Amino acid sequence: MKGVVLSGGTGSRLRPITHTGPKQLVPVANKPVLEYAIEDLKEAGITEIGVILGNKGRDEIQELFGDGSEYGVDITYIVQGNPLGLAHAAGCAKDFVGDDDFVMYLGDNILKSGVTELVKSFETGNYGAGIALQEVDDPQAFGIADVDNEGNVTELIEKPDEPPTNLALIGMYVFSPAVFDAIDELEPSWRGELEITDAIQDLLEDGYEIDSHIVTGWWKDTGKPQDILEANRLVLEDTELNTAGVVEDGAQTDGCIELADSSVIEDGAVVRGPVSIAENTTIKSGAYVGPYTSIGANSTLEDIHIENSVVIGDSEITTNGRIVDSLLGRNANVGSADELLPEGRRLVVGENSQLKL
Amino acid sequence: MRIITHTCPACGTVVAANQLEDSRVMKCPGLGCQEVVRFEDLPEDAREHFLENRDRYQI
Ligand SMILES: [Zn+2]
């Protein structure tokens, strides 16, 4: 069994954060989203991994993961270039996959339960493919699967008006090499992409059984800022957090706090977990860091009250205000305007930023 | 749709034909790899097929 992780796409819904890098490297609990996918595959015993690269962030992704040895896996990079659809991405991995089965994992997805159960379920039968499903409240907005009593998929329908089930396809699949023949036969869809659901539908029509596995733990597609915050909350809630850094006397802390060993919570600061604070970061007197917040490396926080937020890193936040439900990009700084005249806020805001003042 | 790729002989990075055809001659996108990869590195039948169906590879 091999793994294929998709990390193309434009990340347009995460602008301005993605103006400078790929969406799959946006950190959740101070770890790039893509790293969760690599770790999940490794946990399922899959160590030969193809990482599909789009046009954006190729070098950054290769710099981070290298040949995979630091993660205990062996990575091959596959350059898809233009985003011609998930089935095109899978097709680009054909030579890498060879005659093996493979897990295909969308690199901007993050899920509690990993891929082990999906793989196990697939391996119990002689399936053409296996798909991960999750119950959703609004099936009209998703690709939906109909399944029989044995859990075999009988039909896939994209955003149905009258959904037969509320079982949505999430971004995880297992394929036998038969999928490559199906992809060979595909035509671009109305939206001009080679659709993986069409390939699975073709496998069905060719007589292959398609397994389904229902994922019960949380699953998040981190395409939008709100999703990053939500994923950050879910991961912080679920992860064991270690305090390795310095908590000075006079600092108030409670709950689980991940504090890198080079970071400090100073006298007079308040931190209420679950919180993650990365390397070389200082939480100074007067700062309050509330639950479900991740502060990236090389940052300083002073006077600010911040909660349910993600600060990616290299930031100085030193104003006496409240920041909630926010995503701050790398090297974003927030200072005080108190002493400045005329009175008012001073902003240097990048393209596609969103502020609520 | 036939999906055509080329594997860099130096580092093993796989490059899709649409990417190769875009630049014709390019430095291998594998980080630190100095190999030059070309659309012409593809077998002739693959190149012909690609060029005949060029529009579909631009979707
Ligand atoms: Zn190379």
Read off the pLDDT of residues A31-77 as tens digits, 9 standing for 90 and up. 999 999 999 999 999 999 999 999 889 999 999 999 999 999 999 99
Chain CA centroid to CA A251, Å: 33
Residue-range definition of the domain harbouring residue B41? 5-57
Ligand 1 center from residue A32 Cα (angstroms)? 25
pTM over 0.90: yes
Q: What pLDDT tens digit does each residue of chain B (59 aa) get?
A: 899 999 999 999 999 998 998 888 999 999 999 999 999 999 999 999 988 888 877 76
Domains and CATH numbers, chain A: 2-221 (3.90.550.10), 240-328 (2.160.10.10)
* Minimal C-alpha gap between A74 and chain B (Å): 12
pLDDT at site B59:
63
Mean pLDDT, residues A269-278 taken together: 98
The Cα–Cα gap between A185 and A281 comes to 53
The Cα–Cα gap between B59 and B57 comes to 6
Give the tens place of pLDDT for each residue, A322-354. Answer: 999 999 999 999 999 999 999 999 999 988 999
DSSP β-bridge partners for residue A327: A310
Give the tens place of pLDDT for each residue, A65-76. Answer: 999 999 999 999
User: Complex ipTM, two decimals?
Assistant: 0.95
Q: Which of A50, A179, A43 is nearest to A105 (CA)?
A: A50
Residues of A in contact with B7 (CB under 8 A): 95
Residues of B in contact with A187 (CB under 8 A): 1
How many domains would you assign to chain B?
A: 1
Ligand 1 center from residue A180 Cα (angstroms)? 24
Residues of B in contact with A79 (CB under 8 A): 13-16, 19, 29
Euclidean distance between the first and the last CA atom of chain B, given in angstroms as a whole number: 12
Cis ω before A16 (30° cut-off from 0): yes
